[in-house]
Amino acid sequence: MEHIAPPLQLIVHVKRGIETGASVRSGVLAYLHAEHSIFSQDVSKWISLTDQGLATTSILQKQKSQYRRSLLELLERGLRGESIYVYLCQLEQEIIEACQDEISRKLSKLPFLLLGPLLLLQFPAFLLLLFGPLLENFFHSLGGG
């Protein structure tokens, strides 16, 4: 799961935990043991704050993505004992769609981004092929021979 978005990795661990009969907390802890990223550090701080009964708004506001925020809020509800499996599956689908949209947006920009190096590297070579024989004739006529 190296190339999966961190919120999706967390959802997979929590869903697997719920499906095997474990708690939401054990799924979150399994994610923390398996992953070592910036998001997992935020999740670690978040779970420690919830274990202490403190407010988690600072961690939630730190998250740039609305999907990460809503995932942590949903998991907080699950830690309080609410049933979140259905909502977790819905959020997983929304995150997958958002990832696919982001991929398609980046792929649509890619031809325009690659046009610059193409022009910078191939255009001078094309000019040499085009003007090379003309310059050779010009220098040959200047040389008088």
Query: Binning pLDDT at 50, 70 and 90, where does residue 105 land?
Result: very high
Classify residue 140: in a domain, yes or no.
no
* Residue 98 confidence (pLDDT): 94
Tokens of 4: 């999966």
Residue 38 C-alpha from the chain's centroid: 12
In a domain, 141, yes or no: no
- Domain assignment of residue 41, yes or no: yes
Name the pTM for this structure.
Answer: 0.77
The pLDDT of residue 1 is: 57
Asked whether residue 114 is domain-assigned, the answer is no
Mean predicted lDDT score pLDDT of the chain = 91
Give the pLDDT mean for 75-91. Answer: 94
Enumerate the H helices of the chain as residue ranges. 6-19, 24-34, 38-52, 57-62, 66-79, 85-143
d(CA 60, CA 6): 15
Name the residue range of residue 92's domain. 6-107
Domain count, the chain: 1
Q: Tell me whether residue 96 is in a domain.
A: yes
What is the predicted pLDDT for the residue at 136?
A: 85
| 38: in domain | yes
pLDDT band at 4 (very low <50, low <70, confident <90, very high): confident
